[in-house]
Structure formats: C-alpha cells, structure tokens
Amino acid sequence: MTALLKTEGLCKRFGSVRAVDGVDLEVREGQLTAVIGPNGAGKTTLFHLVTGAIAPDAGRVHFAGRDITGWPPAAIVRAGLARTFQITSVFPELSALENVLLPVLAQRRETARLWGSYAGHPARDAALELLDRVGLVAQAHRPCGQLSHADQKLVEVAMALATRPRLLLLDEPAAGLAPGETERVIGSLRDMVAAGGVTVVLIEHDMDIVFSMADRIVVLHQGRVLADGTPSEIRANPAVKEVYLGGTFAGRP
Amino acid sequence: MAPTSRVGIALLGAAAILPLGLREFHVHLLTEILILGLFAVGFNLLFGYTGLLSFGQAAYFAAGAYVCALWLKGPWPSLPIGLVLGALLAGAAALVVGWLCVRRDEIYFAMVTLACAQLIYVAIWRWRTVTGGSDGIGGIPRPALDLGVAALDLSRTLHFYYFTLAVVTAALYVLWRITRSPFGLALRAVRDNHRRVDYLGLPMRRYRLAAFAVSGVFCGLAGALFAPYQGTITPAVADWLWSAEPVMMTLLGGPGVFLGPVLGAAVITLLKDFVASATEYWPLIVGTVVVLLVLFLPGGAGGAVRDAVARRLAAGRVETGSAASSRAAGLDAGRAVGTGAAVLDASNGVGAGAAVLEGSGGVGARAALLEAGTGVGPGAPGLEAGSSVGARVEGTAAPAPPGRRSR
Amino acid sequence: MNGLVLATLLGHAGHFHHAVEAAGTLAGSIDWQLYGTLFLNGLSQASHMYLVAVGLSLIFGVMRVLNLAHGALHIAAVYIGLSIIALLGNWWWALVLAPLAVAVTGALIEIGLLRPMYRRPPTYVLILTFGLVLIIHDLLKLGWGVDYKILPEPPILRGVVDVFGIVYPISYLFSIVVAAALGLLLWLFLNRTRPGRIIRACAEDREMAASLGINVPVVYTAVFTAGAFLTGFGGVLMGTIMATHAPEAFETMLYAFAVVVIGGLGSLGGAALGSFLVGQLNAFGLLVAPEWNMAFMFLAMALVLILRPRGLMGQGGAA
C-alpha cells in the first residue's frame, strides 16, 4: 500500500530550538496513526508544517502523490487534508450549523456565490447530517461560542469532516475535557473511523485512548522520530520506555 | 417572508410616501440620508460583516463621485451611465488598494486603508487639470431621464429623490442578498475567526479582497449619486474625516443590524442639520456621541432596540409560549430540513430568536426614522434649502490642504 | 529672524521657489549650503515629530492602544502654552507647565475612558480615540479660536547662528538638541532604571507582567501620561517655531502615524528613525515635487506596512 502522507527530512527551527528535526514519516491510507511524545517534542509543529500553517526550513511533504510543500493552507485542505486545533477554534458567533455549513459550501465551491441564500442551500442537508454524526443536531442553531467545550470540539471535528478529507489530523481532541466528555468525543471519533473513508493522524496525551484506538504509533522526542510501530511494538520498545513513558507506563498491559 | 424584508418593504413604502408631505428642503435632506445610508451600509459590509475597520472608504466614495461628475460634464451626460461607471471604477480602485490592504489585520488594516486613502486624497487635490484641485468640480448637471413611458426631470428635487430612492433600494437589496449568500457566510466567518477560515479550504485573503472590492463598488455608487445631488464636488469627500462618517453612522445605528447604518445616517444627517444651524461646534457633539456610544452602547441604537425586543420576546416566550417560541422550538428540532421561511430567517447567527429580533430591530429603526423624519419638519428653523448642506461639507473641520504648510 | 531663511524653513509649498532662491542667494549658490539647510530643516521637523511619535509608539507598545488623539494633545499644548505666557509672561513656564497640563489631561483620559475599554476589540478603542480628536479639536476652537497662533520665543532663543557656514535660527537648533536629549534620557530611563524595565516588561508580555505582581493599570496610566507629556513638550517647541491652528490636530496625527508606522509601532528607535526619515522626506521632497511631499509620506507608509508591517525597526513577523 502506498503512503497517503509522506514527509522527508522535515525541519523547523525556532531560534536555536530545533522543533522538528529531520522527520521522515509515512501515513498509510485507512490507518489510525497516533503521534505521541512529551511536551515540546514537536508534534503540533509537525502538524503546522504538514498543513501549510508554517513553512519548513528544509524537507518535503507529499500528500496523495503530490508534493504539497509550500502550498497555502486552503489549497492543502482542498487537496483533501484537514485538521483540527489543539486550542479549539470555531466561529463563535455563527451557529453550530453555520460552522459546519461553511466548509460544506466551500467543498462544493459555492462560497464565491454572491447570490442565493446560504440558509436555504441544499448543502444544509449535508451539514445537518455531519452534525448528526457527532450528535449535535439539537444544538444546530445555537451560537457555537455558547456550546460546551466538548461540543465545540465535536463541531470542529464535523467542520473538518465537511471538507471531505482523505486525511484528517486531530490535535489533542480530548484535551481539557472532563472524563465523561472525553468518552463522548472519543466515542464519536471511533464511530467516524469505523464508518471508514478517512485516514486519521491523532496527537494525544491520553495513553488509554492512544493504545486502544491506534493502529500505529509514532513517538516523537526532541523533534525526531524516536520510535514507530504498532502499539505492542511501542509498548515493548525500551527507548520509548526510558525517554518518554518512563516507569509509570511499564506496568500497564 | 423574512422579517428583514418585511421591514424593508415597510420602510420603502414610508420612504415613498414621506416626501409628499414635506417641504423641498426636507426632501433634499431625505435624499442625502439615502445616499449616506448606502455609503454606511457599504462600509459596514467590511466592518460589521467581515470584521475589517476601514478608515479610508471616502477614497472610493470620492472615486465614484468624481467619475460620475466628469461623465455628467462630458459630451454624453447620462446619470445611469455615470452611476455605473462611478461604481465600477471605484470598485476597481478598491480592488487595487485592497490587494495591498487585506494582508493586515485590525489596527494595521485601518492604518493602511487610511494611508492609501490619503494618497488618493492628495492625488485628487493635486491633479488639477482633471479634478479641479481644491475648487473641485462645480455645475454638475442632472440630465433628464427618459424612461420610455415617462421622463424624470432630475433637476427637480422630488424627481431626483425618487430616482435616488430607486437606486439606493436596489443597491441595498443587492447588498442584503450578498450578506445572505454563501459568500456572505464566508465573510461572517472571516469576521469571527479569520485564522480558521483557510483551514476549511477558503483562502481568507481572497474573501477579504472581494469584500473590499464589493464595498468599494457600493461606496462608489453612493459617491456617484452624491455628485449630482450636491451639484459640486470637492476634495472634502476624499478626506479622512469623510471616511469617519460611515464609521460613526454605523456605530450609532448598530453594525450588527443590516439597516442599522441607514438609521445612523438618518440620525447624524438630521442632527447635523439641526445642530449645524445652531452651532459650528458640530464635531464636538459628534465626538461626544461617538465616545459615549463606544463606551456604553457598542451595538449601536439598532442593536439596543434589537436586544430590548429580544428580552421582551424571551420573557413573552416563557409566559405565553408565543409564536416565536414555537418557531424556535421547531428550529431546535430542526432535523426536518428546509422548513421554509423560519429556517431561512435563522441565518443571522444568533439562532432563531435573533432572526425574529433582527426584524423587530428593523421595525424599531423604522419607527425612529419616521419619528426623526417627521419631527424635524416643524422643528427645523427656516433654513434655505441646500445652504446648511453645503456648509456642512465645507465646514466640518476641514483640515489644511496637504503641503500648505510643511512641518 | 531672517525672513528669507524663515521662508525656507517653513517650506510653504507656495514659497518654495522663493525659498530655494533665498537659500541660494544666502549661500552664494553653493549647493551643499542649500542641502545643509534642508537637512537641518528635516532635523527640526523630525525633532517635533519625534516627541509626538515616541509617546504614540510607547503607548501602543505597552497598551496596544493607537491613540488618534495624540496629535490633538500636541496642538493643545500650544494653546495652553499661549495662555500660560499671557498669564505668567515667561516662555519657560509654558515649556514646563503646558506639557504638565496635557499630561494631566492624558491621565484623565486613560483612567476615565480607556481603562474600561481594555477588554474590547482594538478597533473600538481606535474609534473612541477618534471621537476624542473631534472633541479636543472643537474645545481648542472654542477656547482659542481658529486663527494661526505662534508662541513668542524667549530672548535667548532669538536670532541666528552660523553652523558650518549655514545661517540657522537658534530656536530651531534648540528644539533639535532638546528633542535629542529627551530621546536619550528616555532610552536611559527605559533601559537602565527599574521602572523603565517594568514598562518594557509590560510591553513585552502583559499577562506575564501581571503575574509577576506588576500593577499593570498603574503602568498604563503612567505610560499614557508620559506620552501625553512628551507630545505636549513637543507642542510647545513646535508652536514656538511655526504658527499653528486647531485643525492641525488632525494633520499632526497623520504625520505622527506615518512616523511610527514607518519606524515601527512600539519601538523607540523606530520613532527616532521614522521621524528622521519623514523629516528629511519632507525637507528634500520640496526639491523634487513640492506639492506632492505628503503623498511621498503616505506612499512610504503604505509601502512599509505592506513590505515590513512591523516597521523598519519593529520586532516580530507579520502583523
């Protein structure tokens, strides 16, 4: 199987800090890959580099057979690579439905239309369906800024899905959520992955989530790939244990 | 029918009937309110809908005004052609300037628009052979308009008023449709969280640029109407103080209500006419109003009315389970797609309640407008038609011409 | 004072050819004397603009507030100075008291109007300060009328001196020297004293400063007051050299803006560099296209905003 996403020697420095330092990564279609690593390992920077938010100092990014290095973010999204943000980022004054409707319209190349109502647009069906998938139809007409943190995270996932991505990068989808809410968000993600059609790369600190969901785990440490393998391989990897997981993880099954 | 359109039609009706009972001077003022209202709504497409504060919209107003004035003084004077040319060239100018401006946010954006507008201002001031320099262009005619069935004698105040009403109504309708279009949704998203838009596959800057150009077209159209309205056009309409006019009107009327800026334009124009006849210290009053508004009423008068009605409706909903509430409930249940008008109305971002409210806010606006419009009739001191209008443009703290005194 | 030199200095567009001729005659048609005069003119303009811009820049750097009323406060100092001279009969009192009066006004504005606005979008604060320009402008008109006013210079600053063969008025040189000295003092204050470091800490990171126990609102008030004082000081110096009237509240603001935008909002060195460049652009612009020098300035401002949005000496990346 060919790689959907491939990075070659990706580098980014901030001053004297090598945030990402020569990362070669391959993400295969249909898998759920988790990227883990201690704080400052370069996980989010890696996402920024892949999605065009910041330009790499060196290295290339290939997506679906194309070299997308240096593409503007919007073009990368339209090529089928979507993301969510570590710090939830929605449109607070638009309704949840409008938040999701916008990317649906964008995906259908309808947003350049100055005429015709967006509210009565056929794309509404698709947007409602996406909200349904994350269980938020009842909240469709509330301003997104008034929704709970967990609901906003779910709206963001629905927004990303609305762009019809082939690859979805999720940056800590469970960060800052209460335990019950985490269950709900992760449950939605599971259903989404099970429904198929989208490949997921996930940054997550919650090891239970990572090890229960991921097909494959990439461990980043100080901007480099420390380990890359199946959950059981990672679990057995002594370097990972030592550098990242330390003693706390060793005892877990 | 959506509440906003109902309000719009009611307003249009009022605007059509109103001048019949007014003296010529007040019809003249009403014309100015329409033109400046269009200017302010055009500005608000950027400010209220896209989240960009432009301190330089006077440049496009002036571009439209000068182009139209020159056309009307040319060999084939025709107002419709002058308007179209003025609006399009202003839009083209906005496209060029906007290409530079949309790279910046917030204060920096305001500053680049200001700098670029000042450039255009100096250009108008210095390019004497075409613009007449500080004297401007005088004697702009209002050629008669042959509509086939009837001819409009636009030199007559009333005829020109109805012509302006038709043009402004059409323009506002188009603007309103734009705010409701998929493009309009994209603009509101840019306003809400511009850094996020790119990650939905929308190149954010291009939407800002498009908004800037569209705003330029409508500000230009307002300017193109203003030239024959005044009969004289001077660089004062390109000055940055003229750019501040729609800012104040919009703040006063409420940037979150579509017709809010028109309300602001009405209040400011009438207040100005009233105050300017009593005192030359008009900017003092405007300045105070602006400071108080920003401090205490950032949603503007229109927003305040809307919020007040919102509260009352919310209370009513609890007690009686009014129509509004059942409609809102229907929306919340909203799985049933395309439930018609009610759903359409919900597009204003604050959900079902807001849609109803926006309409109500508009009703408030209309009431205020009517009140203001009629209140002035008997109250206004016996001014000569046009005198105070001219005085205002000349006299509102006109700054020293550039280069008159280099420092 | 030598009227011909004055014509050059004031650089009235209409007087331009006059001025060039005059300078030429005085200098015996030697170009460098003309250029020298223009250079000094540029410096003296820069000295006034610097005193306006440095406060504007400092306030923006620390408070993230772009104070559109800063030019109005500058002009206010001229009028207040005029009344002080009328009252106390001494220019030096005006130089001290007028800026103090403006500083008090600034403190009141900061505490009464800006403090409630800190959590609001910056565009609204911008609009509020615009309202203040209108108010101050009209209050000046109400108090002192619309005629051009000039402050009578003290005897010691009257007359001209010879600077390397260029005959130049003392009052202009005084303003250049004083502005330079103030700039140096300000730099020393911000870099070498504890309060100065606190202010810089606030400019760099508001939240961090607050978490370190710095009383941020007090710092804000102090900075705004100091900025008002500086612009007032510059106002008295400027008002002594050139006739001024209330509408220049607007024009001054535009110039100060161009200066800080070109130099870099929030940067002291930027304010100095920006003042220098705009001053020279104005002075030498007269030679190239006397009627378009304001256009040059805005063109420069637009270019800087587009190419180097943080200004020539500003830090950081895109705005």
- Report for B209-223, B257-271, C201-215: range of highest mean pLDDT: B209-223
User: Element (H or E) spanning B103, and its range?
Assistant: none
- Does some domain include residue B45? yes
Q: Do C293 and B240 touch (CB under 8 A)?
A: no
By C-alpha distance, which of A2, A8, A72, A27 is closest to A169? A27
Percent of chain A whose pLDDT exceeds 70? 96
Residues 6+ apart with CB under 8 A from B157: B24, B27, B28, B31, B385
Q: Which residue has the higher pLDDT, B44 or B321?
A: B44
Indicate which CATH number applies to the domain containing B277.
1.10.3470
Enter the tokens of residue C162. Answer: 């010879």
- Does some domain include residue B143? yes
What is residue A242's predicted lDDT score, i.e. its pLDDT?
77
Mean pLDDT score of chain A? 86
Q: Which structural domain, as residue segments, surrounds residue B370?
A: 3-376
Residues 6+ apart with CB under 8 A from A90: A99, A144, A145, A152, A155, A156, A159, B193, B196
Strands annotated E in B13-150: 145-146
Whats the size of chain B, residue-wise? 407
- Does some domain include residue B55? yes
Q: Are strands B151-152 and A81-83 parallel, antiparallel or unpaired?
A: unpaired
On the question of pLDDT at A149 being above 50, the answer is yes
User: Element (H or E) spanning C166, and its range?
Assistant: strand C166-169
Q: In sequence order, what DSSP letters do the residues of C84-129 get, joined into one string?
A: HHHHH--HHHHHHHHHHHHHHHHHHHIIIIIGGGTTS-HHHHHHHH
How far lies C2's CA from each of B66, C7, C91, in Å?
A: 44, 9, 21
Nearest-CA distance A20 → chain B (Å): 22
Q: Tell me which of A81, A83, A107, A117 to substitute to probe the interface with B (most B C-beta atoms closer than 10 Å).
A: A117
Q: How many helices (H) and strands (E) does chain A have?
A: 10, 10
- Does some domain include residue B254? yes
One-letter amino acid for residue C200 of the chain: R
- Does some domain include residue B118? yes
Q: A73-130 pLDDT, tens per residue?
A: 999 999 999 999 988 899 999 999 999 999 999 988 888 888 888 888 888 899 999 8
Confidence of residue C266 (pLDDT cuts 50, 70, 90): confident
Q: Are C62 and C220 in contact (CB under 8 A)?
A: yes
Q: Which residue has the higher pLDDT, C46 or B380?
A: C46
Residues in C touching B241 (Cβ below 8 Å): 250
With an 8 Å CB cutoff and a minimum of 3 pairs, decide whether chains B and C touch.
yes
| C124-152 average pLDDT score | 88
Nearest-CA residue of chain A relative to B178? A114
Residues in C touching B116 (Cβ below 8 Å): 298, 302
- Does some domain include residue B388? no
Q: Do C309 and B107 touch (CB under 8 A)?
A: no
Q: A21-31 pLDDT, tens per residue?
A: 889 999 988 88
Count of domains forming chain B: 1
Nearest-CA residue of chain A relative to B210? A112
Q: Do B114 and C318 touch (CB under 8 A)?
A: no
Q: Which of residues 126-145 of A touch B (CB under 8 A)?
A: 128, 132, 137-138, 140-143
8-state DSSP, B12: H
CA separation for the pair B354, B352 (Å, rounded): 5
Confidence of residue B317 (pLDDT cuts 50, 70, 90): low
Domain boundaries, chain C: 3-307
Taking residue B233's Cβ as centre, other Cβ atoms within 10 Å add up to 27
Q: Do C66 and B119 touch (CB under 8 A)?
A: no
- Which range (A234-238, A242-246, B309-313, B370-374) has the least confidence? B370-374
Query: Which pTM does this prediction carry?
Result: 0.80
What is residue B399's predicted lDDT score, i.e. its pLDDT?
38
Nearest-CA distance C79 → chain B (Å): 18
Q: What are phi and psi of B152, to 5 degrees?
A: -95, 125
Nearest-CA distance C214 → chain B (Å): 26
Nearest-CA residue of chain B relative to C143? B281
What is residue B316's predicted lDDT score, i.e. its pLDDT?
63
Mean pLDDT score of chain B? 77
Confidence of residue B343 (pLDDT cuts 50, 70, 90): very low
Q: Which of residues 19-48 of A touch B (CB under 8 A)?
A: none
Question: Which domains does chain A carry?
Answer: 1-80+165-253 (3.40.50.300), 90-164 (no CATH)
Residues 6+ apart with CB under 8 A from A10: A20, A22, A23, A24, A25, A46, A49, A56, A58, A59, A60, A61
- Does some domain include residue B406? no
Enter the tokens of residue C254. Answer: 């535009």
C302: contact with B, CB 8 A cutoff: yes
The predicted complex's ipTM stands at 0.89
What is residue C197's predicted lDDT score, i.e. its pLDDT?
86
Tell me the three state secondary structure of residue A24: strand
Nearest-CA residue of chain B relative to A94? B349
Instruction: With both helix axes pointing from N to C terminus, report the angle between B260-278 and B282-296 in degrees, rounded to the nearest 10.
Output: 140
| B91-116 average pLDDT score | 87
Residues in B touching C14 (Cβ below 8 Å): 404
- Does some domain include residue B189? yes
Tell me the three state secondary structure of residue B285: helix
Q: Are B365 and B253 in contact (CB under 8 A)?
A: yes
What is residue B284's predicted lDDT score, i.e. its pLDDT?
84
What is residue B179's predicted lDDT score, i.e. its pLDDT?
94
Q: What are phi and psi of A8, to 5 degrees?
A: -125, 115
Place of tokens 């309640």: B353
Q: Which of residues 86-105 of A touch B (CB under 8 A)?
A: 89-95, 97-98, 101-103, 105
Percent of chain B whose pLDDT exceeds 90? 39
Distance of CA B65 to the CA centre of its chain: 15
By C-alpha distance, which of B277, B288, B226, B296 is closest to B57? B226
One-letter amino acid for residue B335 of the chain: R
Enter the tokens of residue B342. Answer: 């009610």
The beta-carbon neighbor of B347 closest among A89, A119, A140 is A119
Taking residue B223's Cβ as centre, other Cβ atoms within 10 Å add up to 34
